[in-house]
Amino acid sequence: MGSNFEYEVKLRSGLSIFPSQDQAIDQLLSELVEKATGRFVLLADVTGQFINAKGETRKTDLIALGSLAAGDLAASTEIARLSGEYQEDQMIVREGSKYYTIIYEVGTHLLLLLQVSIEVPLGWVRILVKQYASKLKQILLSPPEKAEGILGDFLKGETEAFVDQMLDDLWGEG
Partner 1 sequence: MLLNWRSRELQLKVVYYGPALSGKTTNLKQIYSRIDPAHRSEMVSLQTKDDRTLYFDFLQLELGKICGLKPLVQLYTVPGQSYYEVTRRLVLRGVDGIVFIADSEPSKVNENYQTWQEMFVFLKDMDLPADEIGIVVQYNKRDIPNAVAIPEMKRLLGDSKYPSFEAIAVQGVGVYETFRAILNLTVQRVQKILQN
Nearest by Cα to 43 from 123, 153, 139: 139
Looking at the Cβ atoms of 28 and 116, the one nearer to partner 1 is 28
Residue 106 bridge partners (DSSP): 110
Looking at the Cβ atoms of 48 and 55, the one nearer to partner 1 is 48
HEC sequence for 107-163: CCCEEEEEEEECCCCHHHHHHHHHHHHHHHHHHHHCCCCEEECCCHHHHHCCHHHHH
Instruction: Give the shortest CB-36-to-partner 1 separation in angstroms.
Output: 25
Looking at the Cβ atoms of 130 and 145, the one nearer to partner 1 is 145
Instruction: Give the shortest CB-74-to-partner 1 separation in angstroms.
Output: 4
Contact 105, 44 (CB under 8 A): no
Instruction: Give the shortest CB-154-to-partner 1 separation in angstroms.
Output: 4
> Which positions ≥6 away from 8 have C-beta within 8 Å?
144, 145, 146, 147
Instruction: Give the shortest CB-78-to-partner 1 separation in angstroms.
Output: 6
**Residues in contact with partner 1 by the rule CB under 8 A:** 9, 11-19, 22-23, 45-51, 61, 63-64, 67-68, 71, 74-75, 78, 145, 147, 150-157, 159-160, 162-164, 166-167, 169-174
Instruction: Give the shortest CB-53-to-partner 1 separation in angstroms.
Output: 13
Task: In whole angstroms, give the CA distance from residue 106 to residue 42.
Answer: 12
Looking at the Cβ atoms of 9 and 120, the one nearer to partner 1 is 9
